[in-house]
Amino acid sequence: MRSYLALLPVVLLVACSANDPEVQLPPTRISEDSQLLDMVDLDGRYIDSMLIAPGGLEDLSPGGEVTITFEATGLTRVRQFEIVVALSPLSAFTVDRSIFRPQRPFISPIASGIEFNEDGTLRLGGASLTSASEGDQSLGTLTLTTAARLASLSDVTVEVTLISLGPSFSDRDRFEGKDMHLGIAVK
């Protein structure tokens, strides 16, 4: 009888919170790194949330490709966007072989779709010349090639440090800093 009474608080807690729509579930995590999330709620004027979907992480070896697709939800009147990504350590990747392909209607003025910043970050972006994006949409896919040094590394991450988007260059939502915790653990 005592063992049943000991379980009573746990059963009541689960029963009371399981169907409550106000109870917020924790964000989904991609990796063992408790700091990196695959989705963040941004609640901006032009975007609700951002999700990153990685590919190629299974059986990853030096010279292999990792893809990261950026999915936006709740877009409103978005004609241009900018995303800045930090690679850690930078030496885990062959950055000159990296490429970003924006999803239509967005295009990039840069052939590789990437501007390489002096601080080692990658600046991705796109603009629409035809129409503004509304609703849920993929912004594009980043493809990274891993370096030979990858085999000797144990903590390799890709983290988004800036998301900026909106109807124009001067009218945008801007989310920045490591407080977003949006990223993936590659290895």
pLDDT confidence of residue 100: 96
Is 160 within the bounds of a domain? Answer: yes
Residue 7 DSSP one-character state: H
Is 15 within the bounds of a domain? Answer: no
Is 112 within the bounds of a domain? Answer: yes
Could you give the angle at the alpha carbon of 117 between the alpha carbons of 112 and 123, nearest 5°?
50
Q: Give mean pLDDT, residues 66-85.
A: 95
Q: Where does residue 48 fall: left (phi above 0), alpha (psi -120 to 50 degrees), or beta otherwise?
A: alpha
User: Nearest 5°: phi and psi at 117?
Assistant: -85, 155
pLDDT confidence of residue 179: 67
pLDDT tens digits for range 10-50: 333 333 333 333 333 333 334 444 578 889 999 999 999 99
CATH number at residue 39: 2.60.40.680
pLDDT confidence of residue 34: 52
Across 47-51, 90-94, 141-145, least confident range: 90-94
Is 167 within the bounds of a domain? Answer: yes
Chain center to CA of 19:
29
Residue located via tokens 């951002």: 50
pLDDT tens digits for range 57-72: 887 888 889 999 999 9
| Domain count within the chain | 1
Chain center to CA of 73:
12
Q: Do the beta carbons of residue 184 and residue 30 sit within 8 Å?
A: yes
Q: Where does residue 135 fall: left (phi above 0), alpha (psi -120 to 50 degrees), or beta otherwise?
A: left
* Residue 154 confidence class, pLDDT cut points 50, 70, 90: confident
Question: Domain range for residue 167?
Answer: 27-185
Is 127 within the bounds of a domain? Answer: yes
User: Nearest 5°: phi and psi at 172?
Assistant: -145, 160
Q: Which two tokens stand for residue 25?
A: 């579930």
Collapsing DSSP states into helix, strand and coil, what is residue 115?
strand
pLDDT confidence of residue 8: 33
pLDDT tens digits for range 159-186: 999 999 999 989 999 999 766 888 888 8
pLDDT confidence of residue 23: 32
